[in-house]
Chains A and B, each alone.
Chain A
Amino acid sequence: DTGVSQNPRHKITKRGQNVTFRCDPISEHNRLYWYRQTLGQGPEFLTYFQNEAQLEKSRLLSDRFSAERPKGSFSTLEIQRTEQGDSAMYLCASSLTTGLVEQYFGPGTRLTVT
């Protein structure tokens, strides 16, 4: 399978714990995006990388959230001191640089904070 992959697919954690998610984009894609999706809503943009550079962060991305893409390939999204309001699906997408925006999404990581 050469699509976008995300791990883990599901994560249950207790409030206050830290969690980290991983995204592996399509190999030739140098743009990578993180979104958050709550039930019944469309995905909301969180942050975006071009290669290893994080070029944009949404106001939704509080200081408890940090994302990295150290070698311009896979990316991690860490949430520190999780809160119940962080419960959501976290989606990763990737795209090429040139051309229009067809973003290819991964299956997401479902986070439940208890």
Chain B
Amino acid sequence: GESVGLHLPTLSVQEGDNSIINCAYSNSASDYFIWYKQESGKGPQFIIDIRSNMDKRQGQRVTVLLNKTVKHLSLQIAATQPGDSAVYFCAEKEGLGGYQKVTFGTGTKLQVIP
């Protein structure tokens, strides 16, 4: 199938361990951030989002941390499973309403070692 992971930074994690994927964003005016997961041959899939007025948000097995001071975003995946293997993209948006152009960052390929 289609590979979206070529030439991407790769994170290899043992199954059951926690994963941390980092992202630096550039637009200080961005006020909404999203993490997407993209499996080979598929379109990006929404994982979790966070508004700029928050510094942490938790979902099921995932946590997003936002540090606006250094324009850094991270995605933490607890108890990583083989099904988590994919390319992960952070994305940013300026403005909470209206036109919703989303700018994607460079992805990180997560490889889960069974």
Instruction: List residues of chain A with CB under 8 Å of any chain B CB.
Output: 4, 31, 37, 39-45, 48, 55-56, 89, 91, 93, 95, 100-108, 110
Contact = CB atoms under 8 A, between A and B. Distances in A.
B41 interface: yes
Given A4-B43, A37-B4, A45-B102, A101 B89 contact: no
Interface stretch (B12-20, B61-69, B75-83, B91-99): B91-99
Contacts of B2: 89, 108, 110
B26 interface: no
B100 A95 contact: yes
B34 A101 contact: yes
Interface string B31-69: 010100000011111100101000000000000000000
Q: For chain B, which range describes its interface: under 10, 10 to 19, 20 to 34, or 35 or more residues? A: 20 to 34
Contact of A101 (B7, B43, B93, B106): B93
A105 B89 CA distance: 13
B3 A39 contact: yes
Contacts of B93: 101
Nearest to B46: A102
A44 B96 CA distance: 20
B3 A103 contact: no
Contacts of B34: 101-102
